[in-house]
Amino acid sequence: MNEWNEKDIDEAIAKKDFFCLYLYTPLCGTCQVASKMMQVVTEIIPDVAIGKCDLNYIPGRAFEWEVESVPCLLIFQNSKVYNKIYAFKNVPYLLEIISNK
């Protein structure tokens, strides 16, 4: 899972493809656990574009997408936020959510 900047996010949105964006903050302990789960997810389903971004660097987007807390997994489809996940229960749960596009 690569770190995406705002330009990378804009390019993914412009493609209108299905992709996921994992939002976190570096000092968040729950985010560190969720990051490990997301890393496993990216290894299991490498064909799905999944990026990560420190929410501190995109506050305007956080407001636009109405992000309530971190960690947050935004699932985009057709250039729009299709789903927001805040509860990173376990890897199988995340795989199911992402696979049911």
pLDDT of 101: 65
For residue 35, is pLDDT > 70? Answer: yes
pLDDT one-digit tens code per residue, 1-19: 899 999 999 999 999 889 9
Class of domain 2-99: alpha beta
Residue boundaries of the structural domains of the chain:
2-99
pLDDT band at 48 (very low <50, low <70, confident <90, very high): very high
How many other CB atoms are there within 10 angstroms of residue 9's CB atom? 18
Are the C-beta atoms of 30 and 61 separated by less than 8 Å? no
| Single pTM value for the model | 0.94
Q: What average pLDDT score do residues 32-43 get?
A: 97
For residue 74, is pLDDT > 90? Answer: yes
